[in-house]
Amino acid sequence: MMFQMQQIGPIQLDINGAKISAVVRPADTLLYALREVLGLTAAKPGCENGDCGSCTVLVDGLPVKSCLMLAVEAVGHKITTLEGLQDAPIQKAFVEHRAFQCGYCTPGFIMTCQGLIEKHPDADEDTMFTWLESNICRCTSYEEITGAVRSVLNITPE
């Protein structure tokens, strides 16, 4: 006997300020729903176990690894993806500081940084480093990334 997971929905998601209906399966992650169901591809699949942060989105203003959250768990929450930032200062700072190499991790880093800026607009360097620990750049663009975040938060390097 072959087991086939049933679809549920449509569920209503609040993504980038728009109410969007999506038909998902109970085990579909938010990352899968964003990319494969809704076509929002900025959040990237990386490790798919919550370690790398390339799939980071904001949920109610806080960074969440979308590979660890079920799509059905996102119902009733405000989801922001990179597509919804619309030229936020952190995006411009990443470009100005060349805070990327291959760029695969960049959307996740930007979303984590946006969450930091929203939650702690007066963050110090220790807070910045604590928040950045949740993301991994395999190309080692950390100096450029921290430079971009420092510039938006007006942090002088220690």
Complete edge-to-edge strand list for the sheet that includes strand 62-65: 18-24, 8-15, 78-80, 56-59, 62-65
Q: What is the pLDDT of residues 116-149, one digit of tens each?
A: 999 999 999 999 999 999 999 988 889 999 999 9
Does the global pTM surpass 0.85? Answer: yes
Q: Which of 130, 134, 126, 132 is nearest to 144 (CA)?
A: 132
Specify the residue for token string 């169901």: 37
The CATH superfamily assigned to 8-81 is Beta-grasp domain (3.10.20.30)
Sequence spans of domains, the chain: 8-81, 84-153
Residue with tokens 């980071």: 56
| Element of type H or E holding 110 | helix 106-119
**What does the alpha-carbon distance between residue 126 and residue 124 come to, in Å, rounded to a whole number?**
6
Burial zone of 13 (CB within 10 Å; 0-12 exposed, 13-18 middle, 19+ buried): buried
Residue 5 is predicted with a pLDDT of: 65
pLDDT in tens, 67-111: 999 999 999 999 999 999 988 999 999 999 999 889 999 999 999
CATH code 1.10.150.120 for 84-153? yes
DSSP tag of 151 = H
Beta strand 8-15 pairing with 18-24: antiparallel
